[in-house]
C-alpha cells in the first residue's frame, strides 16, 4: 500500500499505534537536535510502541551513550551481529527486546572485517575451556594461592579461595598473616592454609609448592605498601605465574602508579586486573568517562597501558586484552551488586588460569559463569552462595563443550 509521507516537524505519535524508528543508524556521532529531538521526546512521552531499526535513534553504536536523547524502544531489530551500543549501558536499556536478523551476510565476510569486539558467551571461549585429563591429580588440575588480609578482613580471601576450588582448581591455599591463621583455620576445610607474614614467606611458599595462579587484593590494606609488596612478589616469583589483582590492591597501586605501568615492572606470566568503576578511575584518572565516553575504549586503553587483561566491572562488564581484543558481557544481573561478589569473581578467574586457560578466555568465561549463576539463583543471593551456585551452570557448560568436541 502507498504511504503518504509527512514532514518530521508535523509528526505526532498515536498512543495506540506503533512507531517504526529508522531515523539514524549505528553510525550516529552527533547529538540529536531539531525535529528529530522533538519526535523522540513526543514518542517517549506517549504510550506508543516503538520498533527501532538497527539501533534506537540517539544511541551511539560505538559506545552505547545517549547522544542528546534516544527512543525508548520496545523492540530493536539489528542485522548480522550486535554492535557495542546494543550491549553497553545506557544504550542497552533503550533497546527493549533485541533481535539479530540474518540478511544473508556470510560469516566469512564478517570475519574478514577484523572485528575485535564480541558479545561474551560460551561460543567465544568454550574451545579453550579447561577439562582435566583422565590421569589428572590435584596439582595437575592447578594450584591457586590466595593472599589473606588481617584477622578482621579474612572473608574476602576465603570467598576467592572457595570460588577457585569450585571452578575446578585441584588445590587452593590461603596465605595468611599469623594474626589471621586462627580465624581462617576455623572456616576452612578443603582449602589449605599457610602462615605467611612477609613477601619472603610468600616467595618461599612459591618455591616449595609452585602454585600456577595467585589472587592478590581481596581483604588487604589499601595503603601504598600493598602495591609495593605485589610488585616484589611478581618480580620474585620463581616460576611462571598467572596473577589476578583486585580490590584494595588496585587502590594501593593507584597511590604509586609508576610501579604498575609498563615497562616499570617485570613478570613471568599473565596478569588480570578486575577494577569496578571507582577503582578504574583511581588507577587510570586520565581515562575518565568525560574524556573518553566509550567504556569499551577506556578498557582497551587501560589493557594496553598495563599489558594485562582488564575486567572493567559493572552491569555491562567489559573484558579487554592488551592486543585489542574485547568482549562485552550481557548476562549480568543486579543481584551481583552485593558485598564479596567481586572476590568470588577473582577466584573464578584464578581457578581457570591455574588449569591452563589463557588470560583473556579465562576472564571471559569467569565473568559469564559468575553472572549466569547469579541469574539462576535469583533473589536472596549473597556472595557465599556463588561458589555453589555455579555448579549447575558449569555442568551444563561441560556437557555442551563435550558435545562440540566429540
CA 370/CA 235 separation, integer angstroms: 30
* Residue 266: strand, helix, or coil: coil
CA 292/CA 295 separation, integer angstroms: 8
CA 339/CA 350 separation, integer angstroms: 19
Predicted pLDDT of residue 33 = 97
Q: Which of 230, 130, 256 is nearest to 175 (CA)?
A: 230
Predicted pLDDT of residue 105 = 85
Q: For residue 372, how many C-alpha atoms fall within 13 Å in the half-sphere facing its CB?
A: 19
- The structural domains of the chain, ordered by start, are 8-114 (3.40.50.10260), 124-405 (3.40.1190.20)
CA 210/CA 255 separation, integer angstroms: 30
Q: What is the pLDDT along the chain (406 residues), one digit of tens a residue?
A: 567 889 999 999 999 999 999 999 889 999 999 999 999 999 999 999 999 999 999 999 999 999 999 999 999 999 989 999 999 999 999 999 999 999 888 877 777 766 679 999 999 999 999 998 888 899 899 999 999 999 999 999 999 999 999 999 999 999 999 999 999 999 999 999 999 999 999 999 999 999 999 999 999 999 999 999 999 999 999 999 999 999 999 999 999 887 777 654 556 799 999 999 999 999 999 998 889 999 999 999 999 999 999 999 999 999 999 999 999 999 999 999 999 999 999 999 999 999 999 999 999 999 999 999 999 999 999 999 999 999 999 999 999 988 776 5
User: Is-contact 68 31, C-beta < 8 A?
Assistant: yes
Predicted pLDDT of residue 264 = 47
pTM score: 0.95
CA 338/CA 73 separation, integer angstroms: 30
- Residue 218 CB neighbours (<10 A): 30
Name every residue whose Cβ is closer than 8 Å to that of residue 356 and which is 6 or more positions away in sequence.
130, 142, 212
The cell for 366 is 569467569
Predicted pLDDT of residue 405 = 67
Q: For residue 284, how many C-alpha atoms fall within 13 Å in the half-sphere facing its CB?
A: 26
Amino acid at each position: 500500500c502507498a504511504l503518504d509521507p509527512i514532514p518530521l516537524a508535523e509528526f505526532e505519535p498515536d498512543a495506540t499505534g506503533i512507531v517504526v524508528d529508522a531515523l539514524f543508524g549505528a553510525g550516529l556521532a552527533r547529538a540529536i537536535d531539531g525535529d528529530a529531538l522533538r519526535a523522540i521526546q513526543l514518542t517517549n512521552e506517549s504510550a506508543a510502541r516503538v520498533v527501532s531499526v538497527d539501533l534506537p535513534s540517539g544511541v551511539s553504536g560505538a559506545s552505547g551513550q545517549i547522544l542528546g536523547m534516544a527512543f525508548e524502544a520496545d523492540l530493536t531489530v539489528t542485522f548480522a551481529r550486535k554492535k557495542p551500543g546494543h550491549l553497553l549501558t545506557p544504550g542497552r536499556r533503550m533497546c527493549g527486546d533485541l533481535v539479530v536478523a540474518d540478511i544473508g551476510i556470510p560469516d566469512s565476510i564478517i570475519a574478514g572485517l577484523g572485528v575485535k569486539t564480541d558479545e561474551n558467551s560460551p561460543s567465544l571461549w568454550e574451545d579453550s575451556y579447561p577439562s582435566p585429563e583422565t590421569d589428572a591429580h590435584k596439582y595437575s588440575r592447578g594450584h591457586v594461592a590466595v593472599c589473606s588480609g588481617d584477622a578482621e578482613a579474612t572473608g574476602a580471601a576465603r570467598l576467592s579461595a572457595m570460588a577457585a576450588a569450585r571452578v575446578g582448581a585441584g588445590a587452593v591455599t590461603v596465605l595468611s598473616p599469623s594474626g589471621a591463621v586462627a580465624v581462617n583455620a576455623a572456616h576452612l576445610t578443603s582449602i589449605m592454609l599457610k602462615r605467611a607474614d612477609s613477601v619472603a614467606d610468600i616467595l618461599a611458599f612459591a618455591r616449595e609448592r609452585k602454585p600456577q595462579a595467585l589472587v592478590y587484593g581481596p581483604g588487604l590494606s589499601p595503603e601504598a605498601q600493598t602495591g609495593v609488596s605485589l610488585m616484589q612478589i611478581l618480580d620474585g616469583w620463581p616460576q611462571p605465574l598467572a596473577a589476578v589483582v583486585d580490590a584494595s590492591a588496585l587502590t594501593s597501586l593507584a597511590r604509586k602508579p609508576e610501579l604498575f605501568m609498563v615497562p616499570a615492572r617485570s613478570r613471568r606470566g599473565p596478569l588480570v586486573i578486575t577494577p569496578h568503576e571507582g577503582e578504574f578511575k583511581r588507577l587510570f584518572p586520565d581515562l575518565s568517562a568525560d574524556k573518553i565516553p566509550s567504556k569499551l575504549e577506556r578498557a582497551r586503553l587501560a589493557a594496553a597501558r598495563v599489558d594485562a587483561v582488564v575486567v572493567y566491572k559493572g552491569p555491562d562488564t567489559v573484558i579487554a586484552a592488551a592486543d585489542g581484543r574485547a568482549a562485552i558481557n550481557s548476562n549480568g544481573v543486579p543481584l551481583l551488586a552485593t558485598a564479596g561478589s567481586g572476590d568470588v569473581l577473582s577466584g573464578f578467574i584464578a581457578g581457570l588460569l591455574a588449569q591452563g586457560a589463557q588470560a583473556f578466555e579465562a576472564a571471559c568465561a569467569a565473568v559469564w559463569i559468575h553472572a549466569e549463576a547469579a541469574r539462576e539463583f535469583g533473589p536472596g543471593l549473597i556472595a557465599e552462595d556463588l561458589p555453589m551456585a555455579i555448579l549447575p551452570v558449569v555442568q551444563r557448560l561441560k556437557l555442551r563443550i563435550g558435545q562440540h568436541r566429540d
